């Protein structure tokens, strides 16, 4: 039996990796993947919590998160596709039309 | 049947509403028929009500129809209620009768105008407002009509608003009227304050039982007269009326000759108990009227615009009416109002016919010899001129003579002499106009001459009817010397207008006065004949001899210039100063300042909007970290 602390630590490591990926990657797809990693880190934390404190409802929340994350990924990818069509690039430093 | 008089104003009101909303979609034929039918409806109801009034028991006077309560604010109460008595009856008949003829005439005169429906909408609205004015049973409702006719006057003077002169004239009329209206409102408010009610019945009752001090009454009467002077173009507020001639000629006939400008006279006659009670106010009215009568007549002597001569003549005749009211002969004043409505609208419509046939020419120096070209307009014009000049057996003579006789009988000899002088001048300038327009050599523009034509029947028929009344209207008010019962008109008005005490003249004196006023009229005509037809060098010689006097008259005593210099320009300069010093600097400055402050804030904040996704994410992360830190520690 692996102690649930390990799961928390793994979840933190994954989350930090996601943040790093988000800031290091220069294209939108990479950043989206970073976000996905962060989401899954959160999912893992939920599951660890469910196990450690005998709180099985948290597992249901994870299911919801997976569903919403799938939708989010689909929408995100579609947006990225459209941005690419219009700007011929997905590099974030080239997409600055929101500059004030 | 006695009560149907309340329907009178509503025919034109409904018609005006329909024309305003749907007028542009209706054909010209429908517009003209509807507008005329609405006024004819009012006329028919007026005649029926008036016949009912003649047969009615005098104890019932006045008939009052309370339609609904309109204002009820503390002690100020005003109902939408109409009052019908002999004075209203006379006014209603004049307004609807003459108004109907002018509506019919307008069909011909305005036939090619593109604002046809707008014109008739305004004309109907005017008729409604005027009827409301003369039928109102309290001062406040009367004031609604008073302002309504002012508004329609403005709209119709500026009817051809693309002409700058017309737009300016409309504005001038409105502003000058506002000055008078300020006095009128104050007068009404004082009445409400003192009497506690603005119903005419209540006011008369308060005067009767001493609820009103003499000084207060004088103050109120003078304030009301300021309003009347504005509306009826008396000194010093007459300057708008000559300029008002920029409007279409039927409008000049209806509003600026026959009806609206007489509203002031009507109001003074309506408040006759107040003016009689005050005494001083009545004298002021009489003096202003007499001076205006002469003063305006002198200005009419040198004008070259056919309509302006008539405009000054209107001012002068209104002066007569006020003279009559001021000396206590209210019935005579109203009688002159009534005859004047016929012959002055006749003169205006005939002048309109001349202008129409000359393709819009108004300058008498470019007319002359038109008698043979305008066989139907000429006799109408001539009858109007004879009537206004005061030649016996036509209507103008009886009313003018009634006023002058009363002025003499009441002992106002100076005012009587002024009136007589004005009568000479009236006859003179009217026949100067006739001779310059219809006689002598032709001075027409070749272009106008090519299109020269007599006006269509629809225009000359109203002329014929008005000419008939210009001759006969006076026979309801024969001079007292012909018998006590001769003056039917005065006896009809008796329930409203308290007969003046005294003032009975020996019949010899009265005949002498009649002879004198007849002589005055004939003298004026003969003088005009001698100067403008027989020996045309005299006017030129006169101008050469007294260039100063001629220039003074020709430039209308420079009153417009004086008003400009004393009132208008200082006001304009003051406004410009405020505009430049306060409006532009303080108000605009503070607004501009707040706007530029917002712009500056935006510019500073825009530095944070780099457009780079990672910058935003970094700030977000930082925020989360700080938030977590606060939460945990």
For chain A positions 24-53, those within 8 Å of chain B (CB to CB) are: 31
pLDDT of amino acid B533: 81
**Cα→Cα distances B627→B190, B404, B631, Å:** 72, 100, 6
Q: Over the range B133-149, which residues count as b (16 or more CB within 10 Å of their CB) and which as e?
A: bbbbbbbbbbbbbbbbb
Q: Which residues of B touch A93 (CB under 8 A)?
A: 612
Cβ within 8 Å, pair B621-A19: yes
Closest CA in chain B for residue A96 = B611
Q: Which residues of B touch A21 (CB under 8 A)?
A: none
- The strand pairing partners of A91, in sequence order, are A27
Cβ within 8 Å, pair A96-B612: yes
Question: How far does B621 lie from chain A, in Å, by closest CA?
Answer: 9
- What tokens appear for B537 in the block? 């060098």
**Chain A touched by B617 (CB under 8 Å):** yes
Cβ within 8 Å, pair A19-B605: no
Question: How far does A1 lie from chain B, in Å, by closest CA?
Answer: 30
**Chain B touched by A99 (CB under 8 Å):** yes
Triad B101, B2, B198: Cα angle to 5°: 85
Question: How far does A25 lie from chain B, in Å, by closest CA?
Answer: 10
pLDDT of amino acid B501: 63
Q: Helix and strand tally (H, E) in chain B?
A: 28, 2
- The partner residue sitting opposite A99, judged by closest CB among B610, B617, B618, is B610
pLDDT of amino acid B500: 67
Closest CA in chain A for residue B621 = A19
Q: Which residues neighbour A50 within 8 Å (Cβ) at sequence distance 6 or greater?
A: A56, A57, A58, A59, A62
Cβ within 8 Å, pair A97-B607: no
Q: Which residues of A touch B612 (CB under 8 A)?
A: 92-93, 96
Residue B309 CA, chain-centre distance (Å), reads: 16
Q: How far apart are CA B139 and CA B508, in angstroms?
A: 43
- What tokens appear for B98 in the block? 């003459």
Question: How far does A21 lie from chain B, in Å, by closest CA?
Answer: 11
The interface predicted TM-score of the complex, written ipTM, equals 0.84
Closest CA in chain A for residue B602 = A100
**Cα→Cα distances A97→B604, B609, B612, B613, Å:** 18, 10, 9, 11
Cis preceding linkage at B62, omega within 30 = yes
Kindly list the averaged pLDDT for each block of 10 residues, start to end, along chain B of length 633: 83 93 89 93 92 76 85 83 91 94 92 90 95 93 94 93 92 92 93 88 87 88 94 91 91 90 93 89 93 92 90 94 91 93 94 89 86 90 93 90 89 91 93 90 82 86 93 85 76 79 75 90 90 78 80 83 88 91 89 94 87 86 93 89
Question: Under DSSP, is residue B444 helix (H, G, I), strand (E, B) or coil?
Answer: coil
**Chain B touched by A23 (CB under 8 Å):** yes
pLDDT of amino acid B210: 80
Q: How far apart are CA B390 and CA B320, in angstroms?
A: 12
**Chain A touched by B610 (CB under 8 Å):** yes
Cβ within 8 Å, pair A23-B614: yes
**Chain B touched by A88 (CB under 8 Å):** no
Nearest 10 degrees: Cα torsion B299, B304, B308, B312: 20
Question: How far does B583 lie from chain A, in Å, by closest CA?
Answer: 34
**Chain B touched by A92 (CB under 8 Å):** yes
Q: Which residues of B touch A98 (CB under 8 A)?
A: 609, 611
Task: Give the HSE-up count for residue B97: Cα atoms under 13 Å, Cβ half-sphere.
Answer: 19
- Is residue B563 a contact partner of residue B555, using CB atoms and an 8 Å limit? no
Asked if CATH classification 3.30.70.141 holds for the domain at A28-93, the reply, yes or no, is no
Cβ within 8 Å, pair B609-A95: no
Q: Which residues of A touch B608 (CB under 8 A)?
A: 100
Question: How far does A98 lie from chain B, in Å, by closest CA?
Answer: 5
**Chain A touched by B625 (CB under 8 Å):** no
pLDDT of amino acid B550: 82
Kindly list the averaged pLDDT for each block of 10 residues, start to end, along chain A of length 100: 86 94 91 92 90 84 92 93 91 81
**Chain A touched by B606 (CB under 8 Å):** yes
- Over its C-alpha atoms, chain A yields an Rg (Å, rounded) of 17
Would you list the domain boundaries of chain A? 28-93
Closest CA to A47 of A59, A60, A61: A59
Closest CA to B36 of B134, B94, B123, B141: B123
- Is residue B315 a contact partner of residue B345, using CB atoms and an 8 Å limit? no
Count of C-beta atoms within a 10 Å radius of residue B46: 26
**Cα→Cα distances B414→B331, B428, B623, Å:** 21, 21, 98
pLDDT of amino acid B312: 94
**Chain B touched by A56 (CB under 8 Å):** no
| pLDDT tens track for A37-55 | 999 999 999 988 888 888 8
Cβ within 8 Å, pair B621-A95: no
Question: How far does B620 lie from chain A, in Å, by closest CA?
Answer: 12
- Is residue B47 a contact partner of residue B93, using CB atoms and an 8 Å limit? yes
Alpha helices in B2-85 (DSSP H): 10-22, 28-55
- Over its C-alpha atoms, chain B yields an Rg (Å, rounded) of 29
**Chain B touched by A93 (CB under 8 Å):** yes
pLDDT of amino acid B371: 87
- What tokens appear for A39 in the block? 């989401």
Closest CA in chain A for residue B607 = A100
Closest CA to B262 of B146, B139, B128: B146
């Amino acid at each position: 039996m692996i102690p649930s602390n390990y799961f928390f630590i793994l979840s933190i490591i994954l989350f930090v990796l996601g943040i790093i990926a988000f800031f290091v990657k220069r294209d939108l797809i990479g950043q989206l993947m970073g976000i996905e990693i962060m989401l899954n880190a959160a999912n893992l934390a939920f599951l660890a919590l469910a196990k450690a404190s005998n709180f099985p409802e948290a597992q249901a929340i994870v299911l919801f998160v997976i569903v919403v994350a799938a939708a989010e990924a689909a929408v995100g990818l579609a947006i990225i596709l459209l941005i690419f069509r219009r700007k011929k690039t997905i590099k974030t430093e080239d997409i600055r039309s929101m500059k004030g | 049947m006695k009560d149907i008089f309340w329907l009178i104003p509503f025919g034109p009101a409904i018609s005006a509403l329909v024309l305003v909303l749907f007028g542009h979609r209706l054909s010209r034929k429908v517009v003209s028929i509807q507008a005329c039918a609405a006024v004819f409806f009012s006329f028919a109801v007026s005649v029926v009500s008036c016949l009912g009034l003649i047969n009615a028991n005098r104890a019932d006077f006045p008939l009052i129809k309370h339609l609904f309560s309109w204002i009820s604010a503390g002690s100020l109460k005003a109902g939408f209620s109409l009052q019908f008595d002999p004075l209203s009856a006379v006014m209603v008949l004049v307004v609807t009768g003459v108004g109907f003829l002018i509506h019919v005439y307008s069909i011909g005169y305005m036939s090619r105008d593109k604002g046809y429906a707008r014109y008739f909408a305004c004309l109907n609205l005017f008729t409604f407002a005027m009827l409301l004015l003369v039928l109102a049973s309290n001062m406040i409702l009367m004031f609604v009509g008073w302002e309504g006719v002012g508004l329609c006057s403005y709209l119709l003077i500026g009817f051809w608003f693309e002409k700058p002169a017309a737009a300016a004239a409309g504005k001038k009329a409105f502003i000058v009227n506002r000055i008078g209206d300020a006095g009128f409102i104050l007068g009404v408010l004082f009445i409400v304050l003192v009497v506690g009610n603005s119903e005419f019945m209540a006011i008369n009752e308060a005067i009767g039982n001493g609820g009103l001090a003499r000084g207060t009454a004088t103050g109120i009467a003078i304030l009301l007269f300021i309003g009347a002077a504005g509306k009826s173009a008396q000194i010093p507020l007459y300057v708008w009326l000559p300029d008002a001639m920029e409007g279409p000629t039927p409008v000049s006939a209806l509003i600026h000759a026959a009806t609206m400008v007489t509203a002031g006279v009507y109001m003074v006659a309506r408040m006759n108990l107040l003016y009689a009670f005050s005494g001083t106010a009545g004298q002021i009215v009489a003096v202003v009227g007499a001076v205006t009568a002469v003063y305006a007549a002198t200005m009419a002597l040198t004008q070259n615009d056919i309509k302006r001569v008539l405009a000054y003549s209107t001012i002068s005749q209104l002066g007569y009416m006020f003279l009559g009211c001021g000396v206590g002969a209210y019935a005579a004043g109203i009688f002159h109002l009534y005859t004047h409505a016929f012959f002055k609208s006749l003169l205006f419509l005939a002048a309109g016919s001349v202008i129409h046939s000359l393709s819009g020419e108004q300058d008498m120096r470019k007319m002359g010899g038109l008698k043979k070209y305008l066989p139907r307009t000429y006799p109408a014009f001539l009858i109007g001129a004879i009537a206004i000049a005061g030649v016996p057996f036509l209507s103008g003579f009886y009313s003018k003579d009634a006023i002058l006789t009363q002025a003499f009988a009441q002992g106002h000899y100076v005012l009587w002499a002024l009136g007589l002088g004005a009568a000479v001048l009236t006859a003179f300038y009217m026949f100067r106009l006739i001779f310059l327009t219809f006689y002598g050599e032709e001075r027409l523009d070749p272009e106008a001459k090519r299109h020269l034509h007599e006006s269509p029947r629809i225009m000359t028929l109203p002329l014929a009817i008005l000419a008939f009344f210009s001759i006969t209207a006076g026979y309801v008010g024969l001079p007292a010397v012909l018998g006590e019962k001769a003056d039917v008109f005065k006896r009809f008005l008796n329930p409203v207008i308290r007969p003046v005490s005294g003032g009975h003249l020996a019949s010899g004196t009265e005949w002498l006065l009649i002879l004198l006023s007849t002589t005055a009229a004939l003298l004026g005509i003969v003088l005009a004949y001698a100067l403008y037809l027989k020996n045309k060098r005299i006017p030129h010689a006169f101008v050469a001899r007294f260039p100063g006097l001629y220039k003074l008259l020709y430039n209308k005593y420079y009153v417009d210039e004086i008003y400009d210099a004393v009132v208008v320009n200082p006001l304009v300069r003051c406004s410009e100063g405020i505009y430049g010093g306060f409006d532009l600097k303080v108000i605009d400055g503070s607004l501009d300042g707040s706007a530029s402050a917002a712009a500056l804030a935006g510019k500073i904040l825009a530095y944070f909007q780099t457009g780079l996704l990672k910058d935003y994410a970094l700030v977000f992360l930082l925020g989360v970290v700080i938030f977590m830190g606060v939460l945990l520690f």
